[in-house]
Each structure stands twice: as C-alpha cells, then as structure tokens.
Structure 1
C-alpha cells in the first residue's frame, strides 16, 4: 500500500484533487468535506466517487448478490445478551434486576474485540483476565445470525472482481479490522492511505505552531487573530454564541451557512437548539427524540404498572392490546419468548431498544462534532466548551476490560495514550481548516453551579492567537418569560413563581423537630454542616439510596475491620476468622458468585500482609494496643455523644487512637476548626478526659491502599514498604517529645513525623501542641453547639458548603453537592441559592502564619 503522510490534511487532499485521475473511490467518513474540495475544481465528478466505508462495502455485497448479510442491531444485541446472561452462569459476570448498564458495557467490549481482531481463546498469566476472556468467548459463541462489524461482513468477498483503486483517509478508520481489510483489498487493486503522521512539510508560522507546538510547552509567538467568549454557565455560553452569530449576520451581511459551531458536549446541542429557536436561526442541529418522548413508549410505560405478566411473551401480548402503533407492535413481535422478566425490568428493556428519532436540517448554521468538524470552504468557526476534562476530553480507563488487560493482547485496540494522541490530531485538523475567523468559548460554572476551569488547550490558544474578548448583548433573546419578568398573564403559575422568588427556593423550618431524627452523632453533625437540607432528607424523612444486590465496598470494609479486630495478634487466624465472617454475613454473595469470591479471596490475602505491617509498626515502638472496637461516650459542651474507636494504643500515660479506613483519609485541621473532619479529635478528647490520660495522637490506617499495592510492595525493601504503609494524621507533642518517642527510632516510618538530626521536627511533620489542640477543640465545641441548636430549631436551608478557592469537581469534603444523592430533590438554583463559604486559611491564622494566609 502507498501511504501519503503529513499532518496537514487539507493540503494533502488539495494535492490529490489536482493530480488524481479516475476511476477511483475515495473512502472517508467526511464525504461532504471531500466532495466540496473536488467540486471547487470540477463542475461534476464522473469517475471519482466519494463513499463511506459502509457504502463501499454495500457495493461489494451487491456485486456478489449477498443481500441477507446484516450487522447486529443494538436492540437485538441487548435482547440476546439479556437472554444469555439470565440463562447461563459466568465466572466474572452476575445477572441482576437491572443488568442493562452491564449489558451495554459487554456489547461495547465485544464490538471493540471484533473491530480489532482480538483473540479471546488464548491463555494469559493473569487468572482474572483468563476468566473474563472465557466468559466473553462463551457469550460471543452464543450470539449468532449476523455480524459485529462491516469488515467481517465482507472479508470473504474480497477477490479479483474488485477493479477500482481506493484512496482512504485512514484516520477515519483506526480499528485493526479496517486496516487488515485495506491490506487484503490492496492485493487486488491499488490502495493509497492518507495518514495524519508527522513528516517533512513546508509550513508557515501558523501551521508550524498548531502542528508542532499546540500540545507542548515551547515558547511560541502570536501568529493569528482570534476571539474568545466566556459564559457564566453552558446555557449562557450558548446564548452568547447565538446572539453573536445573529449580530454578525446583521452587521457584516453574512449568511447562516458561513458559520460553523464545533462542540463535543451533547448538552450544548440542546442548549443551542433552545437559543437558536428563540432567535429564529436555522441550524443543522439533529433533533434527537429520546425514548421517553416517544408516544408509544409513554403509553407502554404507563400501562406496565397494571401488567401481571412475568415473561417476555406475556408482557408483549399485553402491550400489543394497548393503543400503540402498528410498527411498534411489529417491533415487539421479534422479542416474544418465554424468558422471565418483571414489568419493571421490561420498562428498562424498552428504554434500551426504542431508538430515538433523528431529523437533521440541511441548511443553516453548521453545528457539528470534533470528528465531523471539517469544512472545505472557509467559515467563521466557533470552538465551544474548552473546559478542563471536556476539551481536550478526559479519556478514562474503565470498562469490562481495562488498559492493562488490553496490553496483553496482540493485536490490541488503541491504548489510552494513543487515543489521546488521536484526539489531539482531531483538534489540530480543526485548527488547520481554512477559516475566516476563529472564536473560542468556555464556561466558568456548570449548570449545577460547580466551578469549571478553562482547559490547558485554552491557555495554549491564548499563546498562539491574539485574542479579542467578545461580549455580545443578550437583548436579542425574545423570551416571553424573560421580557415579562417571569410572569405569564392570567395564569395560576404566577402564584407559584411569586412564592418561589419570595422564598428563594428555600424550604420552611421544621416545627416538629422530632422529624429531624432523634439523637446525634459526629457523622450526622458533619452531614448537617455540609448541607442542612440533605440532613433533613436523610435523617428527617429517612430517604436513603436504593441498595444494590451486588457486593458493596462497605461490606468489604466491614470484613477488613472484623479481621483487624480478631487477628491483630495472630495473622495465622485470618483464614479461619474470614471463613467464619463470610458464613455469617456474606454467604449468599460469596457461594454462588465466582467474581465475588475472587475479590474477597484476594482481599483476605491482602489483609495478611496488612496485619504483618501493623505488627511491625507496633514492634518498632512502645505503643501497645489496649482496646479494639472501644465504645466511647461523653459530652462536648452540652451535647452528648457516643461512638466506637477502632483501636486504642497506650505508651505510659500517653494515648493514641487509630481508625481503620478503606480509602485514603487525612485529618485536615483547617476543616476541623469549621466543623468538618472532627470525629478523631472528639473521640481523643473524650477518651483522655474520662481516663485522665495524655493525648498522644490520632491516626488513620488506610487499608485499601495496601490491597491495591500488594504485589509491588513485596518487591520493595522493608523501609520502603513501611513508608508505603505509614499511618496519616497528627501526633500531639508537649515539647518533651515523649509521645513521639513511643513511635520508635524511625517515627517517619509509622506516622507523618520526620525528625531532623538536630532533634527538631521537619517542616512537613504533622505534630501539634496540646495548647493548639485545646484551641482547635474550642472551635470544634463552638461549632457542635451551634449545629446542635440549629437542628433543634428546625432549620433546614439549601445551603451547601464550599471552601474558598476550592475546585468542587475534585473535592467532596468542601462541596457535598458533587456526590449528593438528593440533588434532584433540592434542585439547587444558581440564581436563587448560595453556597456557605468557609475559609481555607483558618488554621494558618491560628498558628500566626498570616504571611502565607
């Protein structure tokens, strides 16, 4: 095969236009783009045909009279996969009452396997991967009657009947199956690949900066003009873009087709649709109708509540008596079988098989994705949503098979780095398009009022482009509610709007405070401190998340805690005690589920290593465990508390407490002074006051980390292993260093306490004095009293906490909305509700470190 290399796709194609002599097929997924380039030079194309790969393969099938071959539809795959999972037992896959997310993931994985010619029937050193492959192979063997990919559908028909040379834009077809098909075709007709690969090209300053320096840190000069628009949130960003286009059409006498919007965010398409409709701007937006808007689905979903059927056949026959279309009746016929299914699950099944409608306008502002964002004619281009994790996109390692799994296959699909490089190439292609102007845009917050930051790409574009900030007027939006101050004449909704605005989307206080739950605990107080309304939903209304019937991380954590309690003195008891615990608590989830067995068995092996490390830590110093699972009770101010301490260690009259965690956790004194992260401080204070002991420390031991690094840890030296297993938290030192001496000769291997040769603590040492701790406890006591009073006053405002300067997308401690299960209930309104801001520097100010505060 001939390969034409070069990063500048437009230049390569223009050279092809100038020199190509037909007949020839050009294969690309951007057919309109390539057609425009040819039609710019030729009035019509006689012997040059521009096709997608699917269209080319259809030609081959027709020439061989193979009309019955078909690719599995997504609906058929969902149905067959559900039947297979419900009627067979697998090692790594469990069937549940809602299996459709897993089914979609398995379908995606098998498509990737077929697209990349991966061989499942082979042996690997990784036992879990072997089991996964066995399961995938078994499922794949049970799915028959069609093809997974278009390449499979035609590979046996490639022969000397092929006559026409091919020119292929190979970056549109990254899968190995496509590449192998092209090689096979090349045996019969010449195949030329146009490949986006770095080569010696003559480039101007702009092209050089985009191709070679867009994604590095080299110094560059501003080599082009551009514009930037920022929105307070994505909807406002879209509003500004729509208004900007409208004003430019009026002021610059432009046409709608002169504009192209490129975005990879599906939500932006919905927002742009609303904004363009308000301004009567035509656009090539695809109107997607999700199944929930399908009238047949709505009728069937409502009637399922009255259905008594227990199999596909029974439920389908019942639904076919309802007022649904004849086409839907015919669609349901294909799935009549005796497999058992509940009406509730059948609703989920319908959501997977009912396709949404797509109606695309052919004229107007061009709105497209990064993959389709090529244009042969010069346009005013808007590149939208240039926020961190959105553009460039965040490529994650997740799925049934992981990155490390795929690496063991030969051949294998693109790995994460290769996927990211391909994504970068798409962005470079867009920026090398012939253009009249470039406008870049991003948002400062998302629609839930979480902060967003511009991506590193936006920063780099600022280096290359001399950017003018655009701020289009939004007065062009003719929305009746907006113009009438959110009111509709003579409509009862006005009373609700008035009440909403008057209360600022806040609930009233609760008069019957018993509804807020009786009793109090540290975790409950911290929940209230994060957001009073979520406290009310959880502890007042007692609404909790639905528990899954799969193995939960909390159940694994409970097993770890039990083994820590029963086997700390003798790790040889672990197998016996683990077996006892499983028999009493996890028998059903363990016995019949090989995947659960794998995780639990590995966890038990990890715990043997973990307990050995704890024993080593104890032998290094003088602290001796005196209690495990110790119940503690007392008062902080006038508020009574009780709780359980995982482990209490003593060294003379010094006491430290240790808490076992299944994830990384540290004590943040700044947050503790503001009512968060206070459990360890409260427990240590109550315990030492009751027993008249000196406070020595409060430490977390992270169990999960050790489980994940077990294999690599064995290869490390003893000191490196101990550092890896070091506890986190704080030690309390009154100046005598007695509490720290109890850690042994190398305290930094046990806790975050490094001592210099001079005997002083390193700056990084987490050591506080009893006076500092007393001051912190004063703040803690004050917060506890205030929170307790607010709870019993019935105050439940929607008022989530946010730390100054924090990034809410990555810090749950200071922004509870991110993972709150009640977001759909409170409906936090960015225009009415506010966050409760807390300081990031309070502990620094307490220490007198005002210079850095």
Structure 2
C-alpha cells in the first residue's frame, strides 16, 4: 500500500489524476477506482485531462463497499436501516431502564447511535475507564452495555455496518484492480484494517493531507502516518511558507508578494454582495467565465445568502436549494397541536394551506380574525384521537388517515405517504416520542435543477476542490472568529475528557480536521485568493476578524479590495438611493421620492369634509392631539384588529353597565356586603350574555380580567354609597345623552352620572384608570370632554356649574404604618378613593358635609388660618371662563378641520412630563402609516407655562 503525504493537497490530487490516466491508457484491461466524497467534482477534474473514462471509475466509499459485496455475491445480510437502529436502541434503553430512559430519550438516541458507530469503527469493546470520574464511568459503562445488547439483538439477516461481511473475502479476482483513496472516511481502525487486507491483493494508494510536525491539523492522521510515506512538495515559495507556518505558533513574514486580498464589509449580507459584485465586475472587465471562480462558505447562513444573492443577480451556480417540505411541516404541526393543545399550533396547521378545507385565503383570514379578536378557534380534527394509540403502527394508521382525508394530494404527499408506510412496528410509543421520531427522520426535499455548463462554484470548507477544478480566483467567506475556523463546544453525551479516555476523536481532533480543510482551501490557488469577513451581524452585534486572518496578515502582505468601486448590478440599483442618487429608469419611484421631499412627508389639504354633522368630544380631542391620526381613525375609518383580551374600553363598558344597574344601592343607608358580590356577579354575567362574550372567557387572561373587575366593583359600589351618604347631592341621571348645536356642527356625547343639589349640577365620569384635569392643558384642548358636558347640561337646564369629577374604579392598595395586628381605619380606605377633577368653591360642603380638615371624597382641605377651602377648587367665574377658553379652542379646531387640514403634527413638549401627557404617538395605531420623519416632521409644541392665571377674576381675557 502506497501512502502519499504532504500539505500540497491540490498538487497531490492533480499528479494522481494524471498518473492514473496514463496508467489506465497503458493497461486497458485493468480497473482504476478513485474513492472520493464528491464524485461529480472529480469527474470534472478528470475531464480536464482526458475525453473518456473507459476503465476509470470515480465512486464513494459506500459505493465501493456495495460493489465489493456484489462482486463476492454476499447477499445474506442487509444493513440495518436508520429507523430499525433507532427502534432497537429505544427498546434496549426502555427494557433495561438505563439512565437515558427519560422523557427526551428520543432526542438522545441519534447521538447514542453515532457513539456506537464510533465504537464500531474504532473497534472499542472493553475500554479502560478507571481513571474517569464516577459519573463518566456510569455513563460510559451504560453505553458499552447498550452496544453489547445492540450487537446481541441484531437479527442474523442484518448487520450494523457492511465492512464486517468483507473481511477475509479478498482474493486474486481483484488483482487487476487499482484503488486510490482520497477520503478521510477510511481513517478509522476498522476501515483501515479492511483497506490493508485489500492492499494485500490489489494496488492501493492512499492520500493523506498532513506533515510531520505537531500541529493540530495533523491529528486526524497521527495514527496512520509513517515517515516512510511519499511526500510531495511544491517548489512554490508562497505555498511552502503557507503550509509550514499556518496554524502554528510562529508567523514569520513572507518577503515576496502574496496572492492574498481581503474584503471587509458591514454585515454578512453586505459581504456576500461585495464578493459577488467583485466577481461580476471581473467577468465584465476580463471576459472570464463563471467557472473560473469558486466561493467557499462556512455554514448554512452563508450558503443561503449566497444562493439568494446569486439568484437575485441571475448568476448560475452548482447548488440545489433545500425545499421546504410543507406537507411534512403540516403533519408536525398537527402532532404538536395534539400534544400541547395550543391553539397557536392549530392555527399554524390551518395556515399551512396544505389542507383541503382550509385553502381559501379569505376563509383563513376570517378564522384568524375571529381568533385574534375573540380567541375562538374550533378544532376540526377532534375525530383523530391518539389517546387510544399504543404501538407505532397505531400512530402511523391515524397519520395516514389524516393525510388521505385532510391533505391536498400532490407529488410531495405521495412521498409523505410512502415515508409513513415504512414505519411498521408493534413497539410501544408515546405521542411525544412519535413526534420526535418523525422530526429526526423526516426526509429532505431538494430542487431538481441541472447546473449550467458555465457556473460559479459554491463549496463548503469540507469540499476543497477549487484547485483541481482550475478555478482562477478563490473567495473564502465568513472569516470571522468562531466561524472560520469553527468554534467547537464541549457538549454532548460524551465530553472531551471521556473521548480522550476512550481514545476517540476529541475536541483537538475536530479542531485539527477543521484546520486541515481550511489549509486545503488556502492551498487551492497561488495566484488570487480573497479573504472576506463582516464587522457586525445583521442585528448589529460586533463580529471579530478571525485569528486565522490575523495570522495570515502577519505572515503576508494582504491587499485591500476597494468595495466602493463595486459594479452596481441591476438588482442592486436601490443602493443608489442609499447614496442620495437615483436610477433614471425608475421614474415612478423617483417621482414619489421627489414628492416626498417636496411635501416634507406631509399630506395635502383635503377638499372633502372628514366628518358628519355630529362631532363628539373624543373626536375633537383626537384631532387636537394629531390631525393625521383623526384622518386615519375617523376619516378613513381604519381600525386595528381587536385583541382577544378585553381592552380598556370594553372593561369600562362592563363597569358602566353594572354601576347603572346598581345605582339604587348608592342611596341605601347600609349596603349588605354579603349579598353584594352575588348582585355584581349577576349583572356582569348578564352583560357578557347580552353581548355574546362568553367565548372570550376561554382565554385565561380574560377570566382573570373579569375576576378583577368584579373585585373592583365591590369596592367601588361601597365607596360610592359612602360618598353619597356624606353628600347633599343626589343622583338625577346616569348614561345621559348630550346634544348641543354649535353654529356649524352638532356636539354629542354620554355622561356616566349626573348629580344635583338645589341649583347646582355636578357630573361624574367613571374611569378604569387614573385620570385628572390639567387646567393649563384643558385651555389648549386636552381632556375637554367633561367641561363640555357640564356646560351643555347646565346651560340646557339653566343650572349652576357644580363640578366635574373622575372616579377611578380600580381597586386600591393601602399604604399603612400600622402593625399587622392593628386594625386599619375606614377613613384611610375611603381616602384612597378620592375623586380627581374640579368643583365649584360654593359646593364643597355640599359634596362632603362630614369633613373637618381633609375631604375623603374630593381633593380639598380646610385651611383654618385663611378660613377657606383649598385644593382642586374653582370659583364660578373661573369655571365659566375655563369653559369659554375651551369653547374658543374647539372653534379653532373646527375651523382647521373644516378646511381639510390633516397634517402630521402630533402635539409635543420640551418638558418630558408634559410630553407624556400630550403626545399621542406612543400608543398610536397609525404610526406605521404616518412614518413620522424626524428630518421633516415636527411636534406641535404646547405651552408649558402654568396658564391658570388666565381664568382668575380680574385678568384680561387672553382671547
């Protein structure tokens, strides 16, 4: 057996290819086999030196084994399938109740199988584990027991791997065969022993990519390297320097020019675009071909970036994309729903559009809307009951029935049916184990696409073939720390110390193998090789340049590629706009941009009125906050989907309804607190029934909200009763409709509660949150609703202004300084429920005729030295003038509204506290529509000054 060593990977293979072609032409009756991992690439390499492969076969290692089995007519045993192996290991673990017999055993079994395969390939039966910690001993002893049980349980007509069947079968019938192995799959004890037996009969050559130093990159071959191996060296000074020092602790400078270039970009996406555009520009400039270029990618993310970008640029390449197996994903969603009973999983299944009854988009939208708004989603698959399933066959039967009855038939469904039909076993399964089994064994779909004759080569770092394909320019992408070289983690069933003890491939072996492949890629071209990396991830996290790049930068002069000179491909013309330029062909887009700049992101003035003859206070307040929000909400009538949870306005409606129905209790001298919860329960349930809201109580969040509302109402009714007992005011109306005619429009609204004492009128607004009246902001149009209601009612009934108050129905948490054994006073409780708002100074004692110093009903206190009341109190004059200011302000609002002004001009303030009160943007449903642009749009700033002086008697009217 001849072994060829050295690190000149490309040179060695090219020499082998040329020698094989020459020998095959001389010995036409001999058979020459190249055993490789990717035959198609090697076939292409061969055809660069010959027109025919008459007696040369390029095959994989597995194909070689199958060919030898056929040659010796060994058909008495078949290799265990993946499913059979999984089922056997599962049975062994459960029967012996090994430590892996946990709820996630199906997740562990594929890794256990890989370990057993390592045991087999490295001929590991009774390893010495005495030096390991107890936990490692227990774990490895269990795996060894599983391995022994597995070998005993393997049926006589089956085998774990095929190699065992070939030992001691080789004879002179193979003496005219020549085998050349260019694959690292043979570097295990078991396979290497088999190759040695083959070499006793046939001519065998093995290619080994290593050197005789102690770098990690040599570790995959350390047990198979012999100093007597043939070593091929290259006369190229650059490659010799590269191969001698890369991944070593030394990095002496190479004095001559190197073929290395670099591309540094902001993100991986930008990196890939620059690489491809650099290639595209080179093709345009030098009239080269796509097959002159190869790009290496490190992982799936880079692979998909490359495929998507190349397809966007319409550049041919050699890869076939993995397709989404939607039918399989639908089956997994079905199983996941049956396990977790989560409606989101059911919605994913319905939304897959793989089901016969749920393929209409409009119908699906209605289902989703009903789910989002009402949390209602019926289960159309309740007839598929997995509860009765015991064996794997039982589960498969239901799945096949589901596929047949529910899924749209197509070619993929046929693949799906055939896949499930292979799952035949009477072994017991749980639904969760069945779900994981499907996840672990599901087939992968690939697009059926033949590569063009001239195409770009996309290779991963395990496919270092760009050299033998004679690519003129090579690009290594993703050269960032932890990516290239790859960072390996000490995780898994067997940790690094376990692997070292068992003499199995450990972390240093994996690191060495990765470094070896990277060096192969670096060896593939000594004329032009580009190293590219990104400075940040797509989400803005910084990325470091790879230690490999830093070492190469110390060893060689790496020239920078100016990415600013990249050719601007047609599909990237949008980049012009990022640079403040325009594509002359995009006339519509250019017109829109010009209009946007000219208008400064402001809509034009409307010519059609935005309202009917009736305006409410909430509409006026909305327009006051932002005209454009008013335009979307009341002009275009754009409303967001309702959320399944009860919203603030819905909770308010329930509270208002119950307080309306229980208002007679407010006047009773004493409330029966024992029966009150039942009364509240009755009216809350009645409201829910009348408004068909029972389905929404399937949502646990809503159940909690209703429970909280009932508790809040209990306290609210008790407090309202006590407040009326201490007041001279009486309730004269609730849910009173307000109508008022202004010169050009009608004003409407509803007052929650109206109280009267002699000639004074007081109104109360029930709120489920804390709300107050800020006089300075009211003068500027904020929270004017209650002022307008009070003025309208008092004017209509020719009564005096008594006050406007807000009652917060939310339950309070008392702050107390008492010991836990001391009883809290009722005064502290009722004080927590004091109402916000303002009252006429003439009715303070009418509202609360029991307080001496501080009121428990309103925010007012008696100041003895001044012999007056202070707090949220206004004179009749101040109340009237405040209303006059509000009336004047709404006339201005109406004038602006009637002239079609819908500017993006939300209110704001330089004072953060006031900004929070007046700015409508934070919770606005239309932010994505207005796209408030800080370069063009501005906040309409309110006056931050205290404007209360304007309503004092003796001040000139500012209007």
Q: Could you say which residue in structure 1 is the equivalent of 2:15?
A: 15
User: C-alpha distance in 1, partners of 2:574/2:88?
Assistant: 48
Q: Is the 8 A contact 1:300 1:319 kept in 2?
A: no
Q: Which of 198, 219, 227 is 2:252 aligned to?
A: 219
Q: Could you say which residue in structure 1 is the equivalent of 2:458?
A: 367
Task: Output the aligned Cα RMSD.
Answer: 4.6
Q: Could you say which residue in structure 2 is the equivalent of 1:757?
A: none
Answering whether residue 53 of structure 2 is matched by residue 45 of structure 1, we say: yes
Determine helix, strand or coil for the equivalent of 2:12. helix
Count the aligned residue pairs.
515
Determine helix, strand or coil for the equivalent of 1:313. helix
Answering whether residue 204 of structure 2 is matched by residue 191 of structure 1, we say: yes
Q: Could you say which residue in structure 2 is the equivalent of 1:478?
A: 571
Provide, for residues 320-375 of structure 1, a one-character-per-residue CA deviation record: whole Å limited to 9, x for no partner: 12336344333323324454545455333322221111346433211111111213
Q: Is the 8 A contact 1:233 1:445 kept in 2?
A: yes
User: C-alpha distance in 1, partners of 2:916/2:102?
Assistant: 43
Matching of residues 306-455 of structure 1 within 5 Å: 306=382, 307-310=384-387, 311=389, 312-321=392-401, 322=403, 323=407, 325-343=413-431, 345-359=433-447, 361-363=450-452, 364-375=455-466, 376=468, 377-409=470-502, 412-434=503-525, 437-455=528-546
Relative to 1, partners in 2 of residues 1:392 and 1:121: Cα closer, same or farther, differing over 3 Å?
A: closer
Provide, for residues 553-593 of structure 1, a one-character-per-residue CA deviation record: whole Å limited to 9, x for no partner: xxxxxxxxxxxxxxxxxxxxxxxxxxxxxxxxxxxxxxxxx
Q: Could you say which residue in structure 1 is the equivalent of 2:5?
A: 5
Determine helix, strand or coil for the equivalent of 1:320. helix
User: C-alpha distance in 1, partners of 2:199/2:920?
Assistant: 74
Q: Is the 8 A contact 1:239 1:474 kept in 2?
A: no
Answering whether residue 472 of structure 2 is matched by residue 466 of structure 1, we say: no
Q: Which of 110, 122, 125 is 1:119 aligned to?
A: 125
Q: Could you say which residue in structure 1 is the equivalent of 2:268?
A: 234
Q: Is the 8 A contact 1:28 1:169 kept in 2?
A: yes
Q: Could you say which residue in structure 2 is the equivalent of 1:682?
A: none
Determine helix, strand or coil for the equivalent of 2:260. strand
Relative to 1, partners in 2 of residues 1:313 and 1:414: Cα closer, same or farther, differing over 3 Å?
A: closer
User: C-alpha distance in 1, partners of 2:123/2:293?
Assistant: 41
Relative to 1, partners in 2 of residues 1:333 and 1:17: Cα closer, same or farther, differing over 3 Å?
A: closer
User: C-alpha distance in 2, partners of 1:170/1:210?
Assistant: 23
Q: Is the 8 A contact 1:28 1:168 kept in 2?
A: yes
Answering whether residue 150 of structure 2 is matched by residue 137 of structure 1, we say: no
Unaligned runs of 5+ in 1: 490-494, 500-506, 516-539, 542-637, 641-789, 799-831, 833-853
Matching of residues 722-761 of structure 1 within 5 Å: none
**CA deviation after TM superposition for structure 1 residue 202, in Å:** 5.0
Q: Is the 8 A contact 2:74 2:165 kept in 1?
A: no
Determine helix, strand or coil for the equivalent of 2:240. helix
Relative to 1, partners in 2 of residues 1:214 and 1:309: Cα closer, same or farther, differing over 3 Å?
A: same
User: C-alpha distance in 1, partners of 2:71/2:473?
Assistant: 43
**CA deviation after TM superposition for structure 1 residue 455, in Å:** 0.4
User: C-alpha distance in 2, partners of 1:437/1:159?
Assistant: 48
User: C-alpha distance in 2, partners of 1:169/1:258?
Assistant: 24
Q: Which of 310, 315, 338 is 1:281 aligned to?
A: 315
Determine helix, strand or coil for the equivalent of 1:478. helix
Structure 1 residues 389-398 or 80-89, which shifts more? 80-89
Relative to 1, partners in 2 of residues 1:75 and 1:220: Cα closer, same or farther, differing over 3 Å?
A: farther
Q: Is the 8 A contact 1:289 1:358 kept in 2?
A: yes
User: C-alpha distance in 2, partners of 1:293/1:235?
Assistant: 30
Q: Could you say which residue in structure 1 is the equivalent of 2:193?
A: 180
Relative to 1, partners in 2 of residues 1:281 and 1:153: Cα closer, same or farther, differing over 3 Å?
A: farther
Relative to 1, partners in 2 of residues 1:206 and 1:184: Cα closer, same or farther, differing over 3 Å?
A: same
Q: Is the 8 A contact 2:259 2:527 kept in 1?
A: no
Provide, for residues 808-827 of structure 1, a one-character-per-residue CA deviation record: whole Å limited to 9, x for no partner: xxxxxxxxxxxxxxxxxxxx
User: C-alpha distance in 2, partners of 1:485/1:85?
Assistant: 65
Q: Is the 8 A contact 2:277 2:569 kept in 1?
A: yes
Relative to 1, partners in 2 of residues 1:196 and 1:337: Cα closer, same or farther, differing over 3 Å?
A: closer
Q: Is the 8 A contact 1:291 1:297 kept in 2?
A: no
Q: Is the 8 A contact 2:472 2:527 kept in 1?
A: yes
Relative to 1, partners in 2 of residues 1:76 and 1:356: Cα closer, same or farther, differing over 3 Å?
A: farther
**CA deviation after TM superposition for structure 1 residue 38, in Å:** 4.0
Provide, for residues 496-537 of structure 1, a one-character-per-residue CA deviation record: whole Å limited to 9, x for no partner: xxx9xxxxxxx9xx999xx9xxxxxxxxxxxxxxxxxxxxxx
Q: Is the 8 A contact 1:25 1:166 kept in 2?
A: yes
User: C-alpha distance in 2, partners of 1:430/1:278?
Assistant: 27
Q: Could you say which residue in structure 2 is the equivalent of 1:261?
A: 295
**CA deviation after TM superposition for structure 1 residue 381, in Å:** 1.2
**CA deviation after TM superposition for structure 1 residue 407, in Å:** 2.4
Matching of residues 767-806 of structure 1 within 5 Å: none
User: C-alpha distance in 2, partners of 1:169/1:135?
Assistant: 36
Relative to 1, partners in 2 of residues 1:41 and 1:291: Cα closer, same or farther, differing over 3 Å?
A: closer
User: C-alpha distance in 2, partners of 1:79/1:114?
Assistant: 19
Q: Is the 8 A contact 1:228 1:467 kept in 2?
A: yes
Q: Which has the larger radius of gyration?
A: 2
Q: Could you say which residue in structure 1 is the equivalent of 2:376?
A: none
Q: Which of 82, 85, 108 is 2:114 aligned to?
A: 108
User: C-alpha distance in 1, partners of 2:569/2:323?
Assistant: 28
Structure 1 residues 25-34 or 53-62, which shifts more? 25-34
Q: Is the 8 A contact 1:263 1:368 kept in 2?
A: yes
Determine helix, strand or coil for the equivalent of 1:286. coil
User: C-alpha distance in 2, partners of 1:184/1:5?
Assistant: 21
Q: Which of 97, 102, 108 is 1:89 aligned to?
A: 97
User: C-alpha distance in 1, partners of 2:182/2:496?
Assistant: 27
Matching of residues 345-744 of structure 1 within 5 Å: 345-359=433-447, 361-363=450-452, 364-375=455-466, 376=468, 377-409=470-502, 412-434=503-525, 437-463=528-554, 464-471=556-563, 473=566, 475-476=568-569, 478=571
Q: Could you say which residue in structure 2 is the equivalent of 1:524?
A: none
Relative to 1, partners in 2 of residues 1:373 and 1:480: Cα closer, same or farther, differing over 3 Å?
A: same
Q: Is the 8 A contact 2:8 2:234 kept in 1?
A: no
TM (norm. structure 1) is 0.53
Determine helix, strand or coil for the equivalent of 1:285. coil
Relative to 1, partners in 2 of residues 1:179 and 1:232: Cα closer, same or farther, differing over 3 Å?
A: same
